[in-house]
């Protein structure tokens, strides 16, 4: 199924924040568009996927801003296909808390329908929320939760 | 059952306030309020992460604000905000005529002085929720007469 | 231009391509300037029509570029402009060969050639060839323009004629135009009809291209539409796609109504005006109804997108059309960007990149950099960054004969933004992790590598430090160490090539490399401004501090806000101009290698400041190390410490101070007040120094001199204090205060002579002066009222304190504002000497104006003591009538003697405006009396064995009520006049009068006390003294009188008096006495009834009637008399 799953942190209006609070410590942990989590099927390809996921953020941003502008659209969290490359298809999903999920699947895998991708993202979101609400996680930290990891491995399992 | 849960939150909140107040060490009122606010901030972030899991994407600031007034408030305090006003330039005033955390205190002005301590956590809750939804803002609370209170949200315009 | 034109857009379909080339020796700069000037003319207006030509210029076109010129006419080079310079006409000929060389590859397609020759002096145009134009004049703009217009007109004429001939071409003459990839000969025989349509279609496409170039997009569109119909029918995939592209291009040109403002337009000469006869379009077969394509409406955006997509699909099917496909994709991308359809644009761009086309290395670089630019245009910064980086990698590909390191470096630098790396971190909040560390580290490493390959170690150093600094948290120790090795090597290289500044070569300039503040190298915390050492520290005088709040500062604030701020902000530290100031900070090295800071200095603004550099070497991963940064302020004002500059690995970096650096966040911003220069005094004394233990361990310099003195109580010695001015300014004001931590009594111990001090000023620099200090061994008794009696103290104990003598000094100029202080501590130990105890005060019945003070004088020393005393006249203290006892008393060691002193009785001075409220309270009165007695009695002692002498005081005297009574003079005094003459009962013994004469007795009763008395009963009573000593008052018939002998008076106020007169007549001879007495009574009736409680009612409280000091001369206790006073001794009258 998926060959790469990534979770990317939010982007905060820092200057606005600083203007109000003058506090660094509270937000220091909030990294701008920082990769909170990235797993690939084959670790040796990780760097490649880092680039893929990183550049896909451009499309995510574009889609989010164009989707929110048009009010008629069903404002889904699922963004659909971000872009296809020769070998891969990159899908995106953004939570209301501006956390971005990116899933990369192989283009060759035609069995995957949009609906299945959607389900995959829902699972990922549920896992993320559970992880976020566990007391040992501080917002903005890298994700190390086992439960979350399990969900991701499930998604990347070849079937 | 619902009532007992509600009471549970009320009582835990009271205990938290008094815990911070009576913590050993120097306890300037301001520190207590700040600590409570931060506590609320953390809780707000997590709460909203969970609550918005199934909501559609918010279109704009106002929609987020409406969400806070309706769904979020109902989920936390079992009622909606009574009045939401805005100048459309980043200032929102949320008014709750019968704020749950103040209902246990006698009406009128007797405890008005102590009210800030009991509104710090809720203020932080709002700020944390909004922060996680992508809005950085400051929240201040105000009591005119118990249990009627207002939360003013200021989103700095860039 | 390369084979693939990556910069194309749809509008370029209408562009007439002109190649501009230098010939001969013109120089790059000159050529570039001329090229730039020519290329501003992007449009040419055809006179008398609305037609405009679009012009495209290029400096370089490879022959491969025109490969597809048959397919897309705009890919042909139509004109050639050569730019050369000659001083003589004759030289023009020499250019010919090079012109031809340039011309040759394009000779088949060039419509015209022109050579612009600059700087030619002669004007003989006849000799030169037709295709050479001389551009003259200092300002050649006009000449160039006209020549260019003429040249473009010639191109236009050819184009126009081609177009017209094409339009009127007969159907049977149409030949098949072939694209470069079409090598196979179409089997015309077997499908004649299809091949015919193909020919017509291609011809129409070709005509369309000509129309586009000739400035008639409307016609072009209709030609393309017709072509499309034919080609579709003939299923000529490649050309159909070309026609579709043409349709879109024509529509885009038609749709763009607004003309770019800054594009200069050429006006073509009128003779070229197209004889635009409205040609009837040649009917080319009846397969297509061409009439419906006359004056077609341009395609909408949606249609354009649709058709272009179709074209792309078609190209994709054709083998060998990769070049055209790539270009079409890029055109599509640009179109979508202008339509703001960014996601689609990104997909089109991505498609263009995935087209499998064999490219040269140069083309690859171009391809990726173009992609980067386009991604940037659509706002996809990350993608742009990615492809900029790819382009950079391409620049140094192994396949290139010479890797383009500099270009690669430039690409990498511009890729930084896409990865959110800001070399200039001015606008980015400090230390905020921003972006994608894994990728950032990679990019920065590549940058370092490239910089090193560039042969610029300094640049590499900067990048390494930047990398270490920004993504510090994400680097492993291993990586950091590697980097440090790199750093060291690079720094060595830097050092080898001279100082970094000198090495600032061109590369650096062009790259405009901003340095980032090395706030982590080292990490600075606990930044703290130190006040000057206590003896250097200027002290702001109190009065100024108070008034300081009123005047406005340099900023205008609302009063409300300013007050709040002041309350928050603690006082600034004060430094003195010209004196070394210190700042301490803790530095940490968080890196796993040794950090060598070759220079670290403070940065300050506001006043002239001379910082002193510090050099540090921090072992790996250690800290904190406390570092002192020093500097001398050289002018007066507010010194604002803005940060510090560190030089690490040869890179200088200025770090701004932030709240995080400070020890107390409230201290931000760091401001130091610098006051004018001040003198500096060194204080020393000739008094014996006993120990050197600092009095205050926290401030060891606060009292550099520790001097100890031991005194007997009452003894006083004089000492010399030497003040030496070791500063550079004169000391013009000096103020000495004495204080002590041990108590407030230091002022009693030390005293200075103010006159002496003022006489010694000013103390000039380098000079010194002596002043005298008098140290007196005061007795260790608590001061104040008798309420302190309960305090436990031992009068016999040895006591002492450390007195701190503060010298506040400054120049005259700034004496009102600030001063410096020097402190000298003197330990004083007071040993008891003379002690007085067992006090007693008794009345002297014989002398009513004096009383007796008696006490034991105890010698607390083990030596013999000579003792004497003196009494001052207390009532008239101005008169120096001290009375010394004749004999000096000797008291042996640890022995005591009883001393009796005749003390005048005295009253407290009465305030003039007397009222009831002014009355002293009882304890006050006592304290007052005690003080007066204390002042009155001076004791002197001398210990000959110890050669010590001193004075003593009766300061431990405790007055009780009886003593008070004895001390106070009688409140009621009598003034008696007999027969008009003052009778002094102490002096005159008796008055002799004759029998039966009238004796006038006049009594004046005065209240001398400060209390009112009364009501009073004055009694005058004559009596006779019998031998038995009993007075006989029953003098029936012996005395008769006129007037009353008893008088009641109301209350007598202090200081008031009343007179009473009566006359006595003695009827027998003999000795008579007259007693005069005054009795204070309660009113008679009430007095009797309150007999037992009288004392409670009457004023005076504890002065009970049973007091033995009450004068009980008056036996008549009729009214429970409280007090009575008698004129004593009585008047003695001898009747003869």
List, for residues C938-986, the tens digit of each pLDDT value. 777 888 777 777 777 776 777 777 777 777 777 777 778 887 777 776 6
pLDDT at position C498: 42
Q: Which two tokens stand for residue C1053?
A: 């106020």
Provide the pLDDT for residue B126. Answer: 92
Please name the member of A47, A58, A84 whose beta carbon is closest to the beta carbon of C383. Answer: A58
Per residue in A47-76, pLDDT tens? 889 888 888 888 888 888 876 666 556 678
Q: How many other C-beta atoms are found inside a 10 Å radius of the C-beta of residue B116?
A: 18
Confidence of residue A124 (pLDDT cuts 50, 70, 90): very high
Cross-chain Cβ contact A68/B57 below 8 Å: yes
How deeply is C63 buried, as exposed, middle or buried, from its count of CB atoms within 10 A (0-12, 13-18, 19+)? exposed
Question: What distances in angstroms separate CA C496 from CA C456, C457, C482, C1125, one per listed residue?
Answer: 12, 10, 21, 115
Instruction: Let me know: does B96 contact B82? Beta carbons within 8 Å.
Output: yes
Enumerate the β-bridge partners of residue C1066.
C1039
Q: Which residues contact C784 (CB under 8 A, 6 or more apart)?
A: C927
Residue B3 CA, chain-centre distance (Å), reads 20
As a whole number, mean pLDDT of residues C388-414 equals 84
What does the alpha-carbon distance between residue A65 and residue C379 come to, in Å, rounded to a whole number?
12
pLDDT for res C252: 86
Q: Whole-angstrom Cα distance, residue C956 to residue B157?
A: 78
Binned at pLDDT 50, 70 and 90, residue C1102 comes out as very low
Most confident stretch, C433-437, C632-636, C746-750: C632-636
For A122, phi then psi, to 5°, come to -60, -45
Contacts of B58 in chain A (CB under 8 A): 68, 75, 96
Nearest residue to A12 (alpha-carbon basis) of B132, C968, B63, C723: B132
pLDDT at A125 over 90: yes
pLDDT value at position C427? 46
Better-scored residue on pLDDT, C497 or C414 = C414
Gap between the Cα atoms of C287 and C221, Å rounded: 19
Question: Closest Cα partner for C583 from C528, C536, C625?
Answer: C528
At C740-759, the pLDDT tens digits run 776 666 677 777 887 887 88
User: Which of A28, A35, A58 is opposite residue C381, by nearest beta carbon?
Assistant: A58
A17 part of contact set with chain C, CB < 8 Å = no
Question: With 0-12 CB in 10 A as exposed, 13-18 as middle and 19+ as buried, what is C257?
Answer: exposed
Instruction: Summarize pLDDT for C240-263 with one digit per residue, the tens.
Output: 888 888 888 888 888 876 666 566
**CA–CA gap between residue B125 and residue B131 (Å, rounded):** 10
C435·A32 Cβ contact <8 A: yes
Q: Which residues contact B38 (CB under 8 A, 6 or more apart)?
A: A26, B124
What kind and span of H or E run contains A29? none
**For residue C571, what are the contacts with CB-CB under 8 A and spacing of at least 6?**
none
- With tokens 């400090």, the residue in question is C430
Instruction: Give dist(CA A159, CA A105) in Å, integer.
Output: 13
Flag whether residue B52 sits within 8 Å of chain A, measured between CB atoms: yes
Sheet holding C896-904, edge to edge: C834-843, C850-859, C896-904
Q: Which of residues 86-145 of A touch C (CB under 8 A)?
A: 86
Structure tokens at C258: 């607004």
Cα C604 versus chain centre, distance: 11
Helix H or strand E encompassing C773: strand C768-776
Query: Is the CB of A59 less than 8 angstroms away from the CB of C343?
Result: yes
Q: What token pair was written down for A64?
A: 């989010």
- Which pTM was predicted? 0.64
Q: What would the two tokens of residue C1032 be?
A: 């006989």
Say yes or no for a CB contact (<8 Å) between A95 and B52: yes
- The region, left, alpha or beta by phi > 0 then psi within -120 to 50, assigned to residue C583 is beta
* Vertex B129: Cα angle to B127 and B130 (nearest 5): 65
Q: Which of C1064, C1070, C1059 is nearest to C1042 (CA)?
A: C1064
Judge whether C56 and C115 are in contact, CB under 8 Å.
no
H or E stretch covering C522: none
Q: Which residues contact B107 (CB under 8 A, 6 or more apart)?
A: B145, B146, B147
Bridge partners of A93, per DSSP, are A78, A101
Calculate the average pLDDT of chain B.
Answer: 83
Which of residues C428 and C843 earns the better pLDDT score?
Answer: C843
With contact defined as beta carbons under 8 Å apart, do C328 and C348 qualify?
no
Facing residues of C530 across strands?
C582
Three-state SS string over C97-126 comes to HHHHHHHHHHCCCCCEEEEEEECCCCCCHH
Between CA C1075 and CA C1046 the distance in angstroms is 12
Structure tokens at B83: 């009045």
Contacts of B110 (CB under 8 A, 6+ apart): B146
pLDDT digits (tens, 9 = 90+) for C163-218: 888 777 776 667 777 777 665 555 444 567 777 788 888 888 888 888 888 888 88
Give the residue-averaged pLDDT of C870-890.
57
Q: What is the mean pLDDT of residues B56-84?
A: 89
Which bin fits A44, alpha (ψ -120 to 50), beta or left (φ > 0)? Answer: alpha
Q: Which of B50, B58, B156 sits opposite A129 (nearest CB)?
A: B50
Give the C-alpha separation, C1031 to C1024, whole Å: 6
Any CB–CB contact under 8 A between A21 and chain C?
no
Cα–Cα distance, A36 to A144 (Å, whole number): 9
Residues in chain C closer than 8 A to A62 (CB atoms): 342-343, 346, 378-380
Closest residue of chain C to A50, computed from CA coordinates: C439
The pLDDT-based confidence of C989 (bands split at 50, 70, 90) is: low
A96/B55 touch (CB, cutoff 8 Å), yes or no: yes
| C770, two tokens | 């002596």
Query: Can you point out the beta strands (E) in B23-137?
Result: 83-86, 91-96
The rounded distance, in Å, linking the Cα atoms of B59 and A68 is: 5
Nearest chain A Cα distance for residue C368, angstroms? 15
- A102 pLDDT band, cuts 50/70/90, is very high
The chain-wide mean pLDDT, for chain C, equals: 74
Q: Of C386, C420, C434, which is closest to A55 when you measure between CB atoms?
A: C386
Over C668-693, what HEC string results? CCEEEEEECCCCCEEEEECCCCCCCC
In chain B, the N- to C-terminal Cα span, in Å, equals 46
How far is residue C795's CA from residue C266's CA, in Å, rounded to a whole number? 117
Residue range C1037-1093, pLDDT digits in tens: 778 888 777 877 777 777 777 888 888 888 888 888 888 888 776 544 433 333 343
Q: Which residue has the higher pLDDT, C920 or C130?
A: C130
In 3D space, the residue among A124, A87, A130, A127 whose CA is nearest the CA of residue A106 turns out to be: A87
DSSP C257-314: -SPPTT-EEEEPPGGG------PPPPP--SSS-GGGGSSPPPPPHHHHHHHHHHHHHH
Restricting to C residues 643-702, those with a Cβ less than 8 Å away from any Cβ of A are: 660
Runs of H (alpha helix) within C609-718: none
* Whether pLDDT at B49 is above 60: yes
**Contacts C434 to A, Cβ<8 Å:** 31-33
Q: ∠ CA C77-C81-C86 to the nearest 5 degrees?
A: 155
pLDDT at site C258: 60
CA torsion C1110→C1116→C1118→C1120, rounded to 10°? 10
Dihedral sign from CA coordinates of C247, C250, C254, C256: positive
- E-strand ranges in C119-188 read 132-135
What lies within 8 Å, CB to CB, of C760 at 6+ separation is C723, C734, C769, C770, C771
Q: Which of B138, B120, B154 is nearest to B37 (CA)?
A: B120
Q: Give CA separation, A51 vs A86, C389, C442, C509, in Å.
A: 15, 11, 11, 31
Say yes or no to pLDDT of C1005 above 90.
Answer: no
How far from the centroid of its chain's Cα atoms is residue C401's Cα? 57
**Quick one: average pLDDT of C731-744?**
75
What does the pLDDT read at residue C428?
47
pLDDT digits (tens, 9 = 90+) for C26-40: 888 888 888 888 888
Under 8 Å between Cβ of C896 and C867:
no
B94 or C1009, which is more confident? B94
Is the Cβ of C433 closer than 8 Å to some Cβ of chain A? yes
Kindly state the average pLDDT of the residues C77-95. Answer: 80
């Amino acid at each position: 199924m998926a060959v790469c799953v990534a979770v990317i942190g939010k982007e905060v209006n820092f200057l606005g924040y600083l203007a109000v609070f003058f506090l660094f410590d509270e937000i220091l942990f909030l990294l701008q568009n920082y990769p909170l989590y990235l797993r690939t099927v084959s670790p040796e390809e990780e760097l490649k996927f880092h680039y893929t996921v990183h550049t896909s953020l451009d499309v995510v941003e574009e889609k989010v801003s164009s989707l929110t502008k048009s009010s008629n659209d069903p404002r889904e969290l699922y963004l659909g296909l971000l872009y296809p490359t020769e070998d891969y298809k990159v899908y995106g999903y953004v939570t209301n808390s501006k956390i971005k999920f990116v899933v990369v699947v192989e283009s060759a895998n035609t069995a995957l329908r949009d609906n299945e991708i959607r389900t995959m993202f829902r699972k990922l979101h549920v896992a993320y929320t559970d992880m976020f609400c566990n007391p040992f996680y501080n917002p903005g930290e890298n994700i190390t939760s086992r439960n979350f990891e399990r969900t991701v491995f499930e998604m990347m399992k070849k079937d | 059952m619902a009532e007992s849960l509600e009471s549970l939150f009320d009582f835990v909140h009271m205990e938290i306030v008094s815990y911070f107040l009576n913590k050993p060490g120097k306890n300037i009122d301001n520190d207590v309020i700040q600590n409570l606010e931060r506590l609320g901030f953390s809780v707000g972030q997590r709460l909203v992460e969970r609550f918005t899991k199934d909501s559609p994407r918010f279109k704009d600031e106002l929609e987020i604000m409406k969400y806070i007034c309706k769904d979020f408030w109902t989920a936390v305090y079992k009622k909606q905000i009574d009045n939401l006003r805005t100048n459309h330039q980043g200032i929102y005033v949320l008014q709750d005529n019968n704020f749950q955390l103040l209902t246990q205190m006698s009406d009128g002005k007797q405890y008005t002085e102590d009210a800030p301590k009991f509104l710090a956590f809720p203020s932080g809750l709002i700020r944390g929720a909004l922060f996680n939804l992508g809005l950085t803002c400051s929240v201040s609370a105000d009591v005119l007469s118990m249990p009627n209170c207002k939360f003013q949200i200021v989103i700095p315009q860039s | 231009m390369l084979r693939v034109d990556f910069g194309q857009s749809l509008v370029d379909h209408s562009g007439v391509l002109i190649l501009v080339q230098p010939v001969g020796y013109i120089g790059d700069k000159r050529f570039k300037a001329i090229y730039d000037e020519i290329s501003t003319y992007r449009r040419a207006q055809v006179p008398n029509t609305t037609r405009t030509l679009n012009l495209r210029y290029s400096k370089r076109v490879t022959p491969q570029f025109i490969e597809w010129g048959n397919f897309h006419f705009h890919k042909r080079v139509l004109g050639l402009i050569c730019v050369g310079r000659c001083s003589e006409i004759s030289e023009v000929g020499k250019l010919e060969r090079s012109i031809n060389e340039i011309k040759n590859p394009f000779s088949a397609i060039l419509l015209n050639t022109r050579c612009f020759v600059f700087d030619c002096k002669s004007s003989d145009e006849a000799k030169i060839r037709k295709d050479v134009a001389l551009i003259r004049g200092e300002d050649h703009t006009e000449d160039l323009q006209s020549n260019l217009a003429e040249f473009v007109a010639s191109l236009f004429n050819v184009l126009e004629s081609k177009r017209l001939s094409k339009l009127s071409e007969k159907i049977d003459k149409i030949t098949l135009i072939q694209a470069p990839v079409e090598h196979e000969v179409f089997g015309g025989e077997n499908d004649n009809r299809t091949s015919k349509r193909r020919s017509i279609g291609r011809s129409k496409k070709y005509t369309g291209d000509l129309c586009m170039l000739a400035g008639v997009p409307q016609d072009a569109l209709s030609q393309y539409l017709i072509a499309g119909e034919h080609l579709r029918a003939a299923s000529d995939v490649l050309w159909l796609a070309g026609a579709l592209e043409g349709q879109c291009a024509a529509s885009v040109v038609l749709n763009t109504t607004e003309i770019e403002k800054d594009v200069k337009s050429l006006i073509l000469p009128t003779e070229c005006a197209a004889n635009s006869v409205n040609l009837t379009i040649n009917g080319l077969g009846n397969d297509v109804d061409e009439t419906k394509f006359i004056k077609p409406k341009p395609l909408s955006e949606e249609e354009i997108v649709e058709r272009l997509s179709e074209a792309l699909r078609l190209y994709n099917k054709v083998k060998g059309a990769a070049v055209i496909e790539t270009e079409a994709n890029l055109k599509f991308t640009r179109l979508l960007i202008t339509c703001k359809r960014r996601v689609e644009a990104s997909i089109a761009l991505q498609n263009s990149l995935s087209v499998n086309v064999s490219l040269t290395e140069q083309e690859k670089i171009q391809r990726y950099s173009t992609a980067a630019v386009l991604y940037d245009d659509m706002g996809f910064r990350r993608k742009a960054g990615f492809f900029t980086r790819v382009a950079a990698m391409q620049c140094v590909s192994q396949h290139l004969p010479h890797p383009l390191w500099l270009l690669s470096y430039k690409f990498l630098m511009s890729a930084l933004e896409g990865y959110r790396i800001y070399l200039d971190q001015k606008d980015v909040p400090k230390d905020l992790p921003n972006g994608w560390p894994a990728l950032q580290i990679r990019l920065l490493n590549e940058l370092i590598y490239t910089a090193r390959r560039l042969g610029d170690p300094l640049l590499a150093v900067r990048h390494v430090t930047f990398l270490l600094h920004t993504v510090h948290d994400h680097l492993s120790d291993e990586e950091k160490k590697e980097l440090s090795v790199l750093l060291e090597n690079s720094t060595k290289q830097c050092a080898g090539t001279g100082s970094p500044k000198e090495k600032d070569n061109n590369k650096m300039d062009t790259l405009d490399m901003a340095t980032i503040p090395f706030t982590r190298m080292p990490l600075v915390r606990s930044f703290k401004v130190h006040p000057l050492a206590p003896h250097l520290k200027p002290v702001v005088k109190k009065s100024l501090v108070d008034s300081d709040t009123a005047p406005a500062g340099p900023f205008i604030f609302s009063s409300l806000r300013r007050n709040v701020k002041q309350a928050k902000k603690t006082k600034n530290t004060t430094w003195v101009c010209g004196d070394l100031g210190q700042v301490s900070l803790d530095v940490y090295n968080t890196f796993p290698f040794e950090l060598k800071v070759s220079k670290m200095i403070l940065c300050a603004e506001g006043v002239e400041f001379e910082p002193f550099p510090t050099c540090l070497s921090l072992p790996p991963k250690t800290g904190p190390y406390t570092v002192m940064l020093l500097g001398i302020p050289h002018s007066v004002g507010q010194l604002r410490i803005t940060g510090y500059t560190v030089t690490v690995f040869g890179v200088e970096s200025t770090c701004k101070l932030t709240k995080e650096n400070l020890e107390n966040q409230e201290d931000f911003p760091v401001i130091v007040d610098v006051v004018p220069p001040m003198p500096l005094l060194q204080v020393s004394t000739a008094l014996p120094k006993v120990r050197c233990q600092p009095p205050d361990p926290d401030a060891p310099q606060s009292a550099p001199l520790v001097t100890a003195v031991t005194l007997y109580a009452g003894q006083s010695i004089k000492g010399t204090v030497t003040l030496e001015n070791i500063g550079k300014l004169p000391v013009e004001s000096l103020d000495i205060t004495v204080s002590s931590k041990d108590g407030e009594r230091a002022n009693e111990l030390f005293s200075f002579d103010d006159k002496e001090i003022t006489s010694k000023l000013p103390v000039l620099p380098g000079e010194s002066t002596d002043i005298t200090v008098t140290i007196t061994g005061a007795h260790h008794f608590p001061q104040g009222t008798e309420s302190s009696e309960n305090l436990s103290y031992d009068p016999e104990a040895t006591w002492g304190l450390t007195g701190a003598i503060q010298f506040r000094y400054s120049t005259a100029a700034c004496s009102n504002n600030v001063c410096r202080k020097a402190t000298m501590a003197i330990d004083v130990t007071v040993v008891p000497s003379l002690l007085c105890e067992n006090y007693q005060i008794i009345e002297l019945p014989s002398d009513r104006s004096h009383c007796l003070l008696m006490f034991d004088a105890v010698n607390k020393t083990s030596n013999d003591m000579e003792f004497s005393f003196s009494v001052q006249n207390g009532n008239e203290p101005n008169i120096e009538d001290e009375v010394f006892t004749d004999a000096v008393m000797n008291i042996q060691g640890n022995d005591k003697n009883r001393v009796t002193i005749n003390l005048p009785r005295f009253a407290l001075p009465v305030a003039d405006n007397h009222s009831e409220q002014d009355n002293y309270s009882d304890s006050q009165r006592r304290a007052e009396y005690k003080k007066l007695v204390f002042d009155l009695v001076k004791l002197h002692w001398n210990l000959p064995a110890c050669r010590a002498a001193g004075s003593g005081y009766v300061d431990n005297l405790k007055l009780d009520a009886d003593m008070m009574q004895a001390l106070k003079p009688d409140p009621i005094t009598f003034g008696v006049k007999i027969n008009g003459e003052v009778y002094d009962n102490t002096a005159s013994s008796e008055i002799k009068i004759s029998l039966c004469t009238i004796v006038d007795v006049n009594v004046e009763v005065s209240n001398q006390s400060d209390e009112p008395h009364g009501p009073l009963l004055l009694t005058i009573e004559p009596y006779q003294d019998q031998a038995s000593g009993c007075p006989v008052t029953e003098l029936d018939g012996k005395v008769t009188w006129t007037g009353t002998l008893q008088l009641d008076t109301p209350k007598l106020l202090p200081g008031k008096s009343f007179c009473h007169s009566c006359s006595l007549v003695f009827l027998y001879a003999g000795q008579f006495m007259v007693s005069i007495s005054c009795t204070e009574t309660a009113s008679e009736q009430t007095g009797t009834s309150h007999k037992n409680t009288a004392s409670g009612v009457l004023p005076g409280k504890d002065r009970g009637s049973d007091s033995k000091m009450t004068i009980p001369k008056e036996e008549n206790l009729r009214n429970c008399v409280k007090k009575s006073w008698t004129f004593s001794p009585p008047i003695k009258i001898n009747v003869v």
